């Protein structure tokens, strides 16, 4: 298992001896143990293993005990802390002073001892010191001997830890930029201050020629390549060539593309995470990789005008299985759009699920669909939909062909995938000779249509000059269209590209007054789409990183930010978010 960051739990106690502290020792430590059990049962790292939780060696009632806990947490690679208490304690003497990680406090709501009073005092101390902290306090009074974690508290504990672990897992990793800026797309411009100061990550760069160098010099695992190529030829169905006849390539050229593209998959992976097998071939430096948690491939146009495109590489790396079986996805952004790569990455770390990269391409009103196809959308699509269609690549998990225990279409964590799931994804997908109007060097693009009525969240981080990073998100559902209608719409763009039709949930407020307004307010040409409605967790994570959220459709009762944020306003939460993020600044600046 990788050396993942752990959760540190700090049991806080009234420091007064001779009866008070002694009477609270068991109750306080039991609170910590219950949360530890909750986290270990419910939360997983990206490799599928249970999250690890570290509890301070003793309850914490005075400064030396807080210092001892901090030293232990440093040794144990703790990436976020949760303080728990059923009672009053000495606020600023017992809080965690580390400014570079998330903090939260659960104050038990019981009438016997004032846990809420400590919670208020400690959070006030955090506010005065400029250290954001989340406050967790159950709505209903509980009895002192009640060992259950109330449902509202349980949800807050899990949301905090899920977001905090995502933040902790970013730190120290890298974004690998393969190439530069694709066709003038602003999101491809790597803002090092964003990655360094807000995410705690570093930036790595290689020219695209490195891919071809490794192909030409055989810098890949030959044995794995033979297995990969055999698997690709057996399992990936080649679809129709939609190019004009005079642009169509023959079968021999297709075979060359398959071979080259398969090698790119191996090489893209090796660039990100390394491969010890390369050292056995005399390429010790290449064997190291770049320690990349996420990458991006420029492709267009300098590469794709001359060589087979990177669509198969992007598709297979973002997919949760290949010739080696099921595995965690490797996040790779199309066109080196690193801001969308960052959006995919935070979605992934919150969910442990593969991510869909898409162009936010077209708003289709019901009237427009009816005019073009003769069919008027109904149900979820009655108010129109957004056509999400990437230019040739996205994860096969985006078919939404996997099924959960109730038979619903979904994207699963990789360790839950069955043979039936992977077979269904492959069955739903065809690989078409690339559109040579766009990709003169050939290659293959991925086509499927995502299953409908599946809950998803679309996310995007944008960079605004003078402001920095800003996040926007939209929860909603995928929809399906009758086959002939779908074909007509696909033919207006490219029938060889992956298709997802998305309807955001409307609230009647802000950008969410209509599907059109959501499309109109989207800040860039790309979006990162994840399974499930995780907008509330994205808002929590964004606050931890000090990234304001300028557009969302999450109800107020689901929003969970540090208590300090309320000091910047309680009526206009969006405005308060902007002011708080500006005041506290990037987490690692």
pLDDT value of residue 147: 77
- Using a 10 angstrom Cβ sphere, with 0-12 exposed, 13-18 middle and 19 or more buried, the burial of residue 532 is middle
* 26 has catalytic annotation: no
Which of 65, 159, 311, 335 is an active site residue?
A: 335
| Angle in degrees, CA 347, 353, 356, rounded to 5 | 65
| Domain range annotation of the chain | 6-170, 174-584
210 is in an annotated binding site: no
pLDDT value of residue 139: 83
526 is in an annotated binding site: yes
Give the neighbor-by-neighbor strand order of the sheet with 292-297. Answer: 202-206, 174-178, 292-297, 331-334
Q: Is 38 helix (H, G, I), strand (E, B) or coil?
A: helix
Asked if 80 contacts 167 with a C-beta cutoff of 8 angstroms, the reply is yes
Asked if 566 contacts 523 with a C-beta cutoff of 8 angstroms, the reply is no
335 is in an annotated binding site: yes
Residue 136 is encoded by which pair of tokens? 């967790």
Is the domain spanning 174-584 CATH 3.90.1150.10? The answer is: no
Nearest-angstrom CA–CA distance, 355 and 297 = 16
Q: Is 119 helix (H, G, I), strand (E, B) or coil?
A: helix
Longest distance between any two alpha carbons in the chain, whole Å? 92
User: Looking at residue 150, what DSSP letter applies?
Assistant: P
Asked if 131 contacts 97 with a C-beta cutoff of 8 angstroms, the reply is yes
Which of 270, 314, 359, 577 is an active site residue?
A: 359
What does the DSSP assignment read for 306-324?
Answer: TS--SHHHHHHHHSSEETT
Nearest-angstrom CA–CA distance, 446 and 315 = 7
Which CATH architecture fits 6-170? 3-Layer(aba) Sandwich (3.40)
20-42 vs 151-170: helix axis angle to the nearest 10? 70
211-229 pLDDT, tens digit per residue, is 999 999 999 999 999 999 9
pLDDT value of residue 352: 98
Residue reference for tokens 């290659």: 443
Asked if 165 contacts 350 with a C-beta cutoff of 8 angstroms, the reply is no
pLDDT value of residue 38: 98
Q: pLDDT tens string for the chain (589 positions)?
A: 478 999 999 999 999 999 999 999 999 999 999 999 999 999 999 999 999 999 999 999 999 999 999 999 999 999 999 999 999 899 899 999 999 999 999 998 775 666 778 999 999 999 999 999 999 998 877 777 777 899 999 999 999 999 999 999 999 999 999 999 999 999 999 999 999 999 999 999 999 999 999 999 999 999 999 999 999 999 999 999 999 999 999 989 999 999 999 999 999 999 999 999 999 999 999 999 999 999 999 999 999 999 999 999 999 999 999 999 999 999 999 999 999 999 999 999 999 999 999 999 999 999 999 999 999 999 999 999 999 999 999 999 999 999 999 999 999 999 999 999 999 999 999 999 999 999 999 999 999 999 999 999 999 999 999 999 999 999 999 999 999 999 999 999 999 999 999 999 999 999 999 999 999 999 999 999 999 999 999 999 999 999 999 999 999 999 999 999 999 999 999 999 999 999 999 999 8
* 335 has catalytic annotation: yes
């Amino acid at each position: 298992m990788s050396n993942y960051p752990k959760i540190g739990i700090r049991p806080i106690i009234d420091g007064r001896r001779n009866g008070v502290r002694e009477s609270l020792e068991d109750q306080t430590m039991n609170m910590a143990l219950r949360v530890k059990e909750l986290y270990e049962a419910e939360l997983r790292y990206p490799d599928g293993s249970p999250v690890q939780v570290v509890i301070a060696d003793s309850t914490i009632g005075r400064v030396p005990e807080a210092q001892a806990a901090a030293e232990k947490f440093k040794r144990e690679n703790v990436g976020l802390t949760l303080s728990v208490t059923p009672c009053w304690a000495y606020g600023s003497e017992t809080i965690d002073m580390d400014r570079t990680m998330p903090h939260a406090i659960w104050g038990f709501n019981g009438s016997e001892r004032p846990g809420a009073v400590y919670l208020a005092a400690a959070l006030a101390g955090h506010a005065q010191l400029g250290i954001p902290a989340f406050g967790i306090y159950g709505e209903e009074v509980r009895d002192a001997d009640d060992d259950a974690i109330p449902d509202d508290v349980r949800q807050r504990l899990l949301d905090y830890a899920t977001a905090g672990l995502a933040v902790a897992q970013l730190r120290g990793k890298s974004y690998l930029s393969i190439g530069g800026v694709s066709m003038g797309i602003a999101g491809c411009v790597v803002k090092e201050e964003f990655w360094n100061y807000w995410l705690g990550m570093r930036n790595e760069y290689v020219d695209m020629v490195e891919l071809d160098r490794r192909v030409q010099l055989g810098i890949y695992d030959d044995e794995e390549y033979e297995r990969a190529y055999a698997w690709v030829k057996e399992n990936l169905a080649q679809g129709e060539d939609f190019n004009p006849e005079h642009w169509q390539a023959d079968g021999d050229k297709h075979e060359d593309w398959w071979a080259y593209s398969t090698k790119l998959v191996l090489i893209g992976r090796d660039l990100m995470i390394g491969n010890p097998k390369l050292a056995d071939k005399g390429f010790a430096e290449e064997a190291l990789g770049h320690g990349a948690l996420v990458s991006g491939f420029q492709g267009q146009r300098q590469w794709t005008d001359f060589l087979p495109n990177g669509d198969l590489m992007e598709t297979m790396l973002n997919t949760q299985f290949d010739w080696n079986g099921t595995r965690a996805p490797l996040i790779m952004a199309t066109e080196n759009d690193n801001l969308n790569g960052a959006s995919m990455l935070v979605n992934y770390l919150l969910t442990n699920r593969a991510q869909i990269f898409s162009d936010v391409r077209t708003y289709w009103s019901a009237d427009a669909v009816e005019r073009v196809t003769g069919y008027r959308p109904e149900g979820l699509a009655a108010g129109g939909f957004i056509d999400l269609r990437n230019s040739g690549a996205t994860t096969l998990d985006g078919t939404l062909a996997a099924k959960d225990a109730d038979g619903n279409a979904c994207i699963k964590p990789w360790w839950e995938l069955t043979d039936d799931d992977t077979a269904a994804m492959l069955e739903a997908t065809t690989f078409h000779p690339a559109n040579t109007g766009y990709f003169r060097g050939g290659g293959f693009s991925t086509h499927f249509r995502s299953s409908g009525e599946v809950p998803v969240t679309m996310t995007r981080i944008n960079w605004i000059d003078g402001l920095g990073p800003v996040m926007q998100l939209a929860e909603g559902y995928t929809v399906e269209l009758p086959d002939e209608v779908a074909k007509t719409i696909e033919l207006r763009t490219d029938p060889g590209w992956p298709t997802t039709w998305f309807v955001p949930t409307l609230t009647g407020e802000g950008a969410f007054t209509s599907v059109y307004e959501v499309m109109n307010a989207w800040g860039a040409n790309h979006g990162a789409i994840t399974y499930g409605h995780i907008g509330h967790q994205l808002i929590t994570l964004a606050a931890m990183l000090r990234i304001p959220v300028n557009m969302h459709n999450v109800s107020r009762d689901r929003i969970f930010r540090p208590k300090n944020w309320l000091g910047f306003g309680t009526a206009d939460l969006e405005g308060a978010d902007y002011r708080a993020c500006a005041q506290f600044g990037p987490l690692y600046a």
